[in-house]
Chains A and B, each alone.
Chain A
Amino acid sequence: MNTVIQAFGLVFQPDVMIAIFASAVYGLTVGSLPGLSATMATALLVPVTFYLSPIAAVATIITASAMAIFSGDIPGCLLRIPGTPASAAYTDEAYAMTRKGQAETALGICLWFSALGGIAGTLSLMLIAPLLAEMALSFSTYENFWLAMLGLMCATLVARSSPIKAIAAMLLGLLIACVGIDNPGGVARFTLGSTDLLGGIEVIPALVGVFALAEVMRSLTEREPPKLEHRRLGGILKGQWELTKKYPKQQARGNIIGIIIGVLPGAGADMAAWVSYAMAKRFSKTPEKFGTGHPEGLIEAGASNNASLASGWVPALLFGIPGDTITAIAIGVLYMKGLNPGPTLFTEQASSMYALYIIFILGNIIMIPLGIIMIRLASRVVGAPRSAVMPVIMIFCAVGAFATAGNNLFAVYCVAAFGLIGFVMEKNGYPVAAMVLGIVMGTMVEQSFVTSLIKSDGSMLPFFSRPVASVLAAMTFAALLWPVFSWSMQKLRARRVAAA
């Protein structure tokens, strides 16, 4: 109990409160601008978190990302353009409701069920993480190695692309993490004689390049979204309570799927929304209504993407394995602030963990009033011209990376290079999230791999002979072979249909 009171004391500080409020406004604004993702919003926040207290820093990341995922629904509803990729799965449905004259209901669903989903996700985080932490305390390097491998494989499995390309992207990330002298032998690897590369490639400039600069580049090659006309909206929350009572099953399913996908490394809000929307349609009694402005899928997917956000922190806090691209950034901030991820975080810094839960709940509660204000102002914000927003973001990329990498101009080159890499990869079907996961986890994977090999005198046997390690290894190989299996099942089914 004492720790809980301590946690409240940590959260209800003026600086934390200001940080939560300011990052909420920031997240709502960035999320509602088409083409700017929640990950980008988070990446650009990192330099600011440098100068905040640990709890305030984590609070900005949590609040901004939750708000951005919700407000991505606003341009989806009103313009049929998802504000963030996490809204893409149900943009059609929301827009169809708007065309039927139910814009306020659609926006209300997005807001109300986002908040509920976010709270459900937080409850799961509070429940699962301490349980897993006990188990994780008994893990040795073998288990850690397989856990990291499983994380990497999951990320390639859920990428909406060719699994081979996803694995290639992930390996590329691991290779990037090899650069520098931070390795078992302490020798300079892949530095090509450059002193700047001796310290390795920093994660934050790489993330800013891949997620922010590459998006600026992509929007240069895409059409300007149409202008949003001003529209009078009725009560946003009117009728939401009836919908909550009418569709309890959809909500529960959306929350659970969101939580599961969030816990899986590398798969985040966008994946959760796609899967939940498909599930809602599959199990609906009226699947023919989907796509015509039917609330069912919207409720399920809208809850799901916000639920995944909180549960994505489970592997991040426990193992330093990012649950999605946002927590990939958050892990960097956690290390920076001395809250090093690991099972001991839950015993030694319990009050900080409780503070984190409180911030999540608080963020999802203030989402409702702030979200309503944002919806009312949407026609002003969403209409901000791209030609004014994008150049400023580009400058933030440069200055932000410069500031986080110890005021070194080399970071700016890194951002430029990774922007280019991210852009080319995206255009050719290589999922950048998999590469980012590789970069973030590379050092950890290598350390657990090499230490394990040294312990076993070069033998691979202990990797498979320890009970937990063998289960994790089996799961990793299953994840590796799953695409082959699903592909051959499809072939088989097609042949059966052809024969019949």
Chain B
Amino acid sequence: MQLSDRLTGGVIATLGSLAFFYGSKLPPVPGQQVGPAAFPMVVGAGLVICGALIIFGIGRHFEEVAEADVASHTAPELLEPLPAWKNWLALLPPALLVFYALASERLGFLPTTAIMIAAASFAFGARAKLAIPLAIIAPFFINLIFLKLLRVPLPGGLLPFPW
């Protein structure tokens, strides 16, 4: 997920200009000079300036100093780069949360989280011997804590909590 400064700076500047124009369209409070438009416009303008400075690489020097400092305090074997596909694996947890939001009402808490835990555990390189029992036991305990102790209405779905 290492992106170039040009790209991230560009995204920030675009976001800032969108915020500025969107903000300027907001209706004013009758009889007053400043209203809900002022703050988004100021923030948007700030973002545009920052984005432009980042594109031109200003302030990069400070980052290099900090990076070198961290690197000198870390064990060298932890700094070796991992294969690129591992970076994409990082998208799995948010994807699983979206899955939870979409499926938990229908499937129920226990089955949904069992699937999520199994998937994440395998992604971390667990063997089936660990991942499967974990996926069965952990949702049960979490359900117990939140449903019974904290009284959060977790969805029952296909497989409601047994008591």
* Across-interface contacts of B154 in A (CB, < 8 A): 399
Asked if A185 and B116 make an inter-chain contact with CB atoms under 8 angstroms apart, the answer reads no
Does A395 make an interface contact (CB < 8 A)? yes
Please determine whether B116 and A394 come into contact, CB atoms closer than 8 angstroms.
Answer: yes
| B40–A189 touching, CB < 8 Å | yes
Within 8 A of B (CB), among A43-96: 47-48, 50-51, 80-81, 88-89, 91-92
The answer to whether B94 and A417 have CB atoms under 8 Å apart is yes
The reply on A132 being an interface residue by CB < 8 A is no
* Residue from B32, B70, B97, B146 whose CB has the most chain A CB atoms within 10 Å: B97
The digit string for B76-90, where 1 denotes a CB below 8 A from any CB of A, is: 011010100011011
Q: Which residues of A contact B139 (CB under 8 A)?
A: 395
Q: How far is the CB of A11 from the nearest CB of chain B, in Å?
A: 23
Binds B, one of A104-112, A170-178, A320-328: A170-178
Tell me, yes or no, whether A379 is within 8 Å of chain B by CB.
no
Interface string of A165-190 (1 = CB under 8 A from B): 10110011011001000011111011
Give the chain A neighbours of B73 by CB distance below 8 A: 88-89, 91-92
| 8 A Cβ contacts from B127-163 to A | 130-131, 134-135, 138-139, 142, 146, 149-154
How far, in angstroms, from A446 to B100 measured CA to CA in the complex?
Answer: 35
Dominant secondary structure at the B interface: helix
Q: How far is the CB of A180 from chain B (nearest CB, A)?
A: 11
> A278 → chain B, closest Cβ, in Å?
9
- The residue in chain B whose Cβ has the minimal distance to the Cβ of A389 is B124
Question: A220 with B59: in contact, given A189-B40, A395-B116 (CB under 8 Å)?
Answer: no
Question: Which residues of chain B are within 8 angstroms of A397 by Cβ–Cβ distance?
Answer: 97
Q: How far is the CB of A405 from chain B (nearest CB, A)?
A: 11
Which of the residues B15, B38, B62, B66 comes within 8 Å of A450, measured between beta carbons?
B38
B5 — which chain A residues lie within 8 A by C-beta? 428
Q: How near does chain A come to B48, taking the closest CB pair, in angstroms?
A: 10
Which of A48, A163, A402, A412 is within 8 Å of B62, CB to CB? Answer: A163
Expressed in whole angstroms, the minimum distance between the Cβ of B88 and any Cβ of chain A is 9
A394 touches B34 (CB 8 A): no
Instruction: Please name the residue on chain A nearest to B62 by beta carbon.
Output: A162
Looking at the complex, which one of B34, B35, B86, B113 makes contact with A395 (CB distance below 8 Å)? B113
**Complex contact A51–B36 (CB within 8 A):** no
Complexed CA–CA distance, A267 and B111 (Å): 42
Interface size on B, residues (CB 8 A): 91
Known: A163-B59, A390-B124, A398-B100. Is A427-B2 also a contact (CB below 8 A)?
yes
> Measured between C-beta atoms, what is the minimum distance from B87 to chain A in Å?
5
Please indicate the chain A residues that have their CB under 8 angstroms from the CB of B142 in the complex.
392, 395-396, 399
Residues of A with C-beta under 8 A to B50: 164-165, 167-168, 171
| A216: B residues at CB distance < 8 A | 93, 120
Shortest Cβ distance from A441 into chain B, in angstroms?
12
For window 1-42 of chain B, which residues contact chain A by CB distance below 8 Å? 1-3, 5, 8, 12, 15-16, 19, 22-23, 26-29, 32-40, 42
Instruction: Answer whether residue B107 sits at the interface, using C-beta atoms and an 8 A cutoff.
Output: no
A419 proximity list for chain B (CB < 8 A):
93-94, 97
Give Cα distance in the complex from A394 to B40, angstroms: 33
A402 and B152 within 8 A (CB):
yes
State A221–B50 Cα separation when bound (angstroms): 29
Q: How far is the CB of A423 from chain B (nearest CB, A)?
A: 6
A187: shortest Cβ distance to chain B, in Å?
5
Contact indicator A427/B32 (Cβ below 8 Å)? no
Residues of chain A contacted by B22 (CB below 8 angstroms)? 189-190
Question: Which residues of B have CB within 8 Å of A164?
Answer: 50, 53-54, 58-59
For B97, what are the chain A residues with a Cβ–Cβ distance below 8 Å? 213, 394, 397-398, 412-413, 415-416, 419
A446: B residues at CB distance < 8 A? 39
Q: How far is the CA of A48 from the CA of B149 in the complex (A)?
A: 9
Q: How far is the CA of A126 from the CA of B152 in the complex (A)?
A: 37
B47:A453 contact, CB within 8 angstroms = no
Instruction: Decide: B101 and A412 in contact? CB cutoff 8 A.
Output: yes
Q: Which residues of B contact A392 (CB under 8 A)?
A: 117, 134, 138, 142
Q: CB-CB < 8 A to A213: which residues of B?
A: 93-94, 97
Give the docked Cα–Cα distance between A33 and B101 (Å). Answer: 28
Listed in ascending order, the chain B residues whose CB lies under 8 Å from chain A are 1-3, 5, 8, 12, 15-16, 19, 22-23, 26-29, 32-40, 42-44, 46-47, 50-51, 53-54, 58-63, 66-67, 69-70, 73-75, 77-78, 80, 82, 86-87, 89-98, 100-101, 104-105, 113, 116-118, 120-126, 130-131, 134-135, 138-139, 142, 146, 149-154
What are 11 contact pairs spanning A and B, CB under 8 A? A165-B63, A168-B51, A185-B35, A213-B94, A223-B80, A385-B124, A387-B124, A388-B126, A410-B101, A420-B94, A424-B1
Would you list the 8 A-B pairs with minimal beta carbon distance, nearest first?
A: A387-B126, A387-B124, A185-B36, A162-B59, A391-B120, A168-B50, A164-B59, A416-B94
Residues of A within 8 A of B (CB): 47-48, 50-51, 80-81, 88-89, 91-92, 160-165, 167-168, 171-172, 174-175, 178, 183-187, 189-190, 213, 216-224, 274, 385-388, 390-392, 394-399, 402-403, 407, 409-410, 412-413, 415-417, 419-420, 423-424, 427-430, 445-446, 449-450, 453-454, 457-458, 483, 487
Known: A51-B151, A219-B124, A399-B142. 5 other contacts (CB 8 A): A172-B47, A221-B90, A412-B101, A413-B97, A446-B39
